[in-house]
Structure 1
Amino acid sequence: MKSKNTILKYLLTICGHLLFWIVIYYFYAYFLGYGSSNTKYVNQFSGFLMPVTILISYFLIYYLIPNYLLTKKYKYFILYCIYTFIISIYVIILSILYGLLYSEGYKEVGTVPLTKTLPFIILGVYFVVLIIVSFSLIMHNYKSIVSNENLKSKILETQLQIKDQELRFLKMQIHPHFLFNSLNTIYGFALNKKDEAPEMILKLSNLLDYILYQIEKPQVLLMDEINHLLDYVSLEKMRFHDTLEVETTINITDKTVQIAPMLLIPFVENAFKHGDIVNGSLKVKIDIKTEGDQLFFKIENTSIKENKTNNGIGLENIEKRLEMLYANSHILETNQTEKYFKVKLTIDNLKQFKNE
């Protein structure tokens, strides 16, 4: 199929060139014979200008321009153009003289065969060559623009694929933490045959459904994210028993607001994972609210500053996701005090990302 398309392309190119040169031939006939009634002489003479015009034009557009002008070898291009001009003048004059001699037999008595003098004939040839060269450069420029646009599209597509793969990778780093912590808790409850085990299994089932099926969506309802966040908190409460104190404040004015899935839950997980028990309990305070197109999320947990060297890989991954999903539309602040670790996240223009 490719060979057939290539052959067809070549045939169309050849036909295009032939049609173009036929137009040029008639241009010469009109230009040289304007005001003359000796059409046979003019047509015969015009034919002798065609080979030299074709030769000069193709030499310029297929050799000098690609090899010297487009490769920015300007000195050589100018030098060879001068050589070409000198040689072409000589060849054009020879063609004109030969055409005049050969067409002598077509002269009609009492008529002027040609209405243009020798300098005008030479200028006419160079005028045609100039048009051809200009058209060639315009086409080259157009093809370069199209090629650059196609290249940009391919680069953009590749970047989007890389971004998508990176997002998937970051999400997959989050998942095992939930499963590991929750399954360990359920395992401990099952060994002790506690009544909370069935409820934990149900909440874990909801989390798994969210992780496996909702995570692939670009956006989910903020309320869905919060509900699963609360399920996760409930699981941790069962695991920590009396050593965990969680205070949640939720104020969502617009229930249709959407965010990227698994965006808030990792902050909560990080609080439980890296928080410290102070005075017999781990205290976590969660505050989520929306105002218009803005989301305000705050979480703080008890944390002893002297025990902290870093905040774990979780927050680093979330920062990367925020940069990729909400670039220039979010503010993430973290603050480690003597007894508390605080996170504050603000996302602006939520509706802008609704269908992305």
Structure 2
Amino acid sequence: MDLLKFNQTRIFATHTVLWIGVWFFFVYFFSYNTTNSLYVTWFSSILLPLTMLTTYATVYYLIPNYLMQKRYWLFGLYSVYVLIFTAFLATVTMIGSFLFISNLKLENTPVMSRNLPFILILIYLVVGLVSFVYILNHNFNTISRNKTLENKILDTQLHLKEQELSYLKKQIHPHFLFNSLNTIYGFALKQSTQTPEIILKLSNLLDYILYQVSEKQVSFQQELDHIEEYISLEQIRFQDTLEVIINKNEIEKNCSIPPMLFIPFVENAFKHGNILNGKLKIRIDFEVSDSHLNFKIENTMISENIDNHQNGIGLENIRKRLDLLFPNHYELETRRFKNRFVATLKINLHE
């Protein structure tokens, strides 16, 4: 309420200052080549309400209802009507001032006050200036409102994308947890001495999943450690039937990536991979530079399961997440061979 009163007071003060300025503007021009200050004062004072009426009619009626609505023909027509009405009242003002202020003495009237075109020019100079400021302010407010609305839309879209990313990341966890808990259960039944080690590794992975996964970026080494921790858990489950090879070039310490970026590929390799000739073989290759990241993973599998592997929910979620994280700046290719499945990911980190 206080802010509303302040704005109303400010608007009133602005209009008051404007019309005082216009009054002095009239006095200045009508004082040309005359010493009759009384006539100039009264004539300017009488002409001021006419100018205010014309200005407000143009600014608050014609411009918003016709010009802003792109009804140009009606705007032009009604502007002519206003001009005729203004010219009529200006003529009445001239005659009335001559009758009642100059005592019917033409020599007592300033030259400029007897010139109707000049009077109309002065009035419409004010109308034009105020209209220009009004349109300028209206356009500025419109741009500001559009910018605010655009920012709200962008914020909403960003929030939705973050929610979708969070949802896609969370879809990774259940299958991994299910397998890990089954492994712990199996080793616990056997009262294996490896059970505490498995629980510790699982604890480390859960710590990463629960806390680091909420970060937008993590170091590449953190992600690699997470993958190796995951593989070591699976190694306990598969025992001698698992063979994993990880190749990587020298990784810069400041290299960072979104968390949980590669683990879905690794999970898919374990979920859909098959043991052939006594082993499930998985090979992972990393090549990272300042601007590019190349990732490749391949696993052995039975040819009948390749279609399920290639079209599974895991890869679909991976593509959705990559579209959100690296729109138009990544290439994901999956290939199938007789007994192998290969996924290749290339990301332009610079973009």
The 2-side partners of 1:212 and 1:92 are apart by 79
Matches within 5 A, 1:190-269: 190-269=188-267
SS in 2 for 1:335: strand
Structure 1 match to 2:320 = 320
The 1-side partners of 2:255 and 2:312 are apart by 30
The 2-side partners of 1:118 and 1:64 are apart by 24
Measure how far apart 1:341 and its partner are: 1.1
The 2-side partners of 1:157 and 1:321 are apart by 19
Structure 2 match to 1:41 = 39
SS in 1 for 2:171: helix
Structure 1 match to 2:15 = 17
The 2-side partners of 1:223 and 1:6 are apart by 57
Measure how far apart 1:236 and its partner are: 0.9
> Where does the alignment leave 5 or more consecutive residues of structure 1 unmatched?
none
TM-score, normalised by the number of residues in structure 1: 0.92
| Alpha carbons 1:252, 1:288 under 8 Å: kept | no
Measure how far apart 1:138 and its partner are: 1.3
SS in 1 for 2:99: helix
SS in 2 for 1:246: strand
Structure 2 match to 1:138 = 136
Structure 2 match to 1:6 = 4
Further displaced range: 265-274 or 279-288: 279-288
Further displaced range: 233-242 or 113-122: 113-122
Q: Which of 151, 154, 158 in structure 2 is aligned with 1:153?
A: 151
The 2-side partners of 1:201 and 1:23 are apart by 83
**4+ residue segments displaced more than 6 Å:** none
Structure 1 match to 2:339 = 339
Q: Quick one: structure 1 residues 172 and 190, their matched pair in 2 at CA, closer, same or farther if it must change by over 3 Å?
A: same
Further displaced range: 216-225 or 306-315: 306-315
2:52 paired with 1:70: no
How many residue pairs get aligned? The number is 348
RMSD: 2.0
- % of aligned pairs identical? 47
Measure how far apart 1:326 and its partner are: 2.2
Q: Quick one: structure 1 residues 219 and 25, their matched pair in 2 at CA, closer, same or farther if it must change by over 3 Å?
A: same
SS in 1 for 2:286: strand
Measure how far apart 1:96 and its partner are: 2.2
| Alpha carbons 2:102, 2:109 under 8 Å: kept | no
- Aligned residue type for 2:21: V
The 1-side partners of 2:104 and 2:258 are apart by 85
> Where does the alignment leave 5 or more consecutive residues of structure 2 unmatched?
none
SS in 2 for 1:104: coil
SS in 1 for 2:172: helix
Measure how far apart 1:111 and its partner are: 6.2
The 1-side partners of 2:253 and 2:287 are apart by 11
SS in 2 for 1:254: coil
